[in-house]
Structure 1
Amino acid sequence: MNPEIEISALLLMLLLLLPIIAINTVIQLKINKELMVSTVRMILQLIFVGVYLQFIFTLNHPFINLLYLLVMIIIASMHSIKSSSLKLRPLFLPILISVALPQLIILIIFNLLIAGVDNLFEAKFIIPVGGMLLGNCLNGNIIALNSFYEGIKDDEKRYNYTIVLGASHNQALLPYLRKSIKRAINPTLASMATIGLVSLPGMMTGQILAGALPITAIKYQIAIMLAIFSAKYFSIILSLTISRRRGFTPFNTLNKEIFLNR
């Protein structure tokens, strides 16, 4: 059992923000307001999450657990679209499918075949693991969608010229597809390449703090990293592929109606 963290200790950690705020003021880096708002939001959101997760874990009803996971998927899908400066309505269903499908498949594989849990819908497995997968897929989809559609928008003349010269739609999109996928998965690849050398990752650290043997924690971390990369990769591929029906006109030109007016 880990020692309880006192409120006074958390307040001490908050004091670390004071020199950061002071430095920002001196160099006129105008992020103090954003820093304070983000900090307050983080605290309030985590308190709220802690309260209802305690309730969900105690109740541990399969329907409630699955419903909560689906809510997480919906929120992640919506945030992926909005953070990519794209309109929610035309792209919501394609992105929802692209996020949900890899998540659920890989979550089932991880919990049943890797962790070997008896109850697939048990709260302490489905929610934390699902959250780790979703968090990484969210970042990947934002980078991929933004890079893909903004890249074509900024390079529209060359893209249209390629179509006019007789290239198929797939051929014209391939360079932008490659670039977007690479940008989206590079952070995960970098993390995988340096994990254990530069940092001790979350799942491994959590299990060690909880009393697990380091070798057991390492096995779980290897499994979750491979699960994260796979879920992220397939989600990106599906997002870019399925959203094309809404992102382009029947004449293979970019549909400007999907972009938010800025």
Structure 2
Amino acid sequence: MTDSIQHLTLAQILIATLLVAFSALVSIFFGLKLEKQLAVAALRTIAQLFLVGYILKYVFAVHHPVLVFLLIAIMVGFAAHASVSRAKRRYARVQLDAFLTLTASSIITGFIVTGVIIQIHPWYRPQYVIPLLGMILGNSLTGVSIALDQLLGDLTDHRDTIEMELAHGASAWEAARGPLADAVRRGMIPTINSMVVVGIVSLPGMMTGQILAGSDPLEAVKYQIVVMFMLAAATALGCMMITLLAYRRLFNAAQQLEERKILRS
């Protein structure tokens, strides 16, 4: 075994498709009717990853900040759409709130990691910031989606309780504080669960990639610790921001819950 990662040939990638074919056979055997979805998902995986690979190769070569931030904006836009599309309920401008939330959480945590902890100069070097932001967005959008869905569901299901508290003199913040806290808690649970089992049950992608590339396992562990803490912070910030933005949209200046603004997706 060599110290550096082996370059894969097209033939080796085609052999890897047999793994998906096996999944399709399982679907056929049990009558799951998922084989078409698996085929489409596999084709999209290949097309999307190769497209991203060529784009990143160009961005890395040009190394221009405008291209870097343009690519970041596109990534955040897709992540915001994905986070909202997963929610069962929504409200007007929820897409904008998700975009602002993911932009702030990813840029803040990404800057702290690349500019302060790893000390990359400039902090937005594409080889570092784009993969890290990809991990942040992939993790944060799940938390944001769960928190948003939980909050809107609680405000709808417990509307009578909230309105009773408001009628008895509670402020909008006091009436909504419980649902807000529950939403943030639910959004953070998947990330906390990942942190609990990392290294024992699972070896995360970044650590595995570094080890396969020949890095010292202990150095890979150090980087993975930074990444896990980064994801925890980004998820916490994202869940907090999306719930607070939703709170501002759904409670008016008269301290009233405008439940009619909550729409089913």
What TM-score comes out, normalization by structure 2 length? 0.90
* Alpha-carbon distance change, 31 to 160 in structure 1, aligned in 2, over 3 angstroms: farther
Alignment pair present for 1:255 and 2:255:
no
CA distance in 2, matches of 1:41, 1:225: 28
CA distance in 2, matches of 1:7, 1:168: 62
Alignment pair present for 1:165 and 2:168:
yes
Distance apart, 1:168 and its partner CA: 2.1
The equivalent of 1:43 in structure 2 is 46
Alignment pair present for 1:232 and 2:240:
no
Alignment pair present for 1:111 and 2:114:
yes
Distance apart, 1:88 and its partner CA: 7.2
Counterpart of 1:241 in structure 2: which amino acid?
L
The equivalent of 2:79 in structure 1 is 76
1:85-164 matched pairs, under 5 angstroms: 85-87=88-90, 89-164=92-167
- What's the CA shift string for 1:173-208, capped at 9, x where partnerless? 222222222221111111111111111111111111
Greater Cα shift, 81-90 or 239-248: 81-90
- What's the CA shift string for 1:142-176, capped at 9, x where partnerless? 11101110222133233323333333222222222
Alignment pair present for 1:217 and 2:206:
no
CA distance in 2, matches of 1:104, 1:165: 42
CA distance in 2, matches of 1:74, 1:38: 21
- What's the CA shift string for 1:73-108, capped at 9, x where partnerless? 222223222321445752233322222122212111
Choose which of 200, 205, 213 in structure 2 pairs with 1:202.
205
* Alpha-carbon distance change, 161 to 37 in structure 1, aligned in 2, over 3 angstroms: farther
CA distance in 2, matches of 1:27, 1:83: 27
Alignment pair present for 1:65 and 2:31:
no
What TM-score comes out, normalization by structure 1 length? 0.91
* 1:144–1:183 CA contact under 8 A, matched in 2: yes
Report the number of matched residues.
261
CA distance in 1, matches of 2:34, 2:22: 13
CA distance in 2, matches of 1:31, 1:154: 34
In structure 1, stretches of 5+ residues that fail to align are none
The equivalent of 1:244 in structure 2 is 247
Q: Which contiguous aligned blocks of 4+ residues in structure 1 show a shift greater than 3 angstroms?
A: 85-89, 248-251
Q: Aligned residues: percent identity?
A: 29
The equivalent of 1:55 in structure 2 is 58
CA distance in 2, matches of 1:222, 1:175: 32
- What's the CA shift string for 1:36-73, capped at 9, x where partnerless? 22222111111111111111111111121122112212
* 1:81–1:88 CA contact under 8 A, matched in 2: no
RMSD of the TM alignment (CA)?
2.0
* Alpha-carbon distance change, 33 to 173 in structure 1, aligned in 2, over 3 angstroms: farther
* 1:90–1:258 CA contact under 8 A, matched in 2: no
In structure 2, stretches of 5+ residues that fail to align are none
CA distance in 2, matches of 1:65, 1:29: 42
* 2:195–2:228 CA contact under 8 A, matched in 1: yes
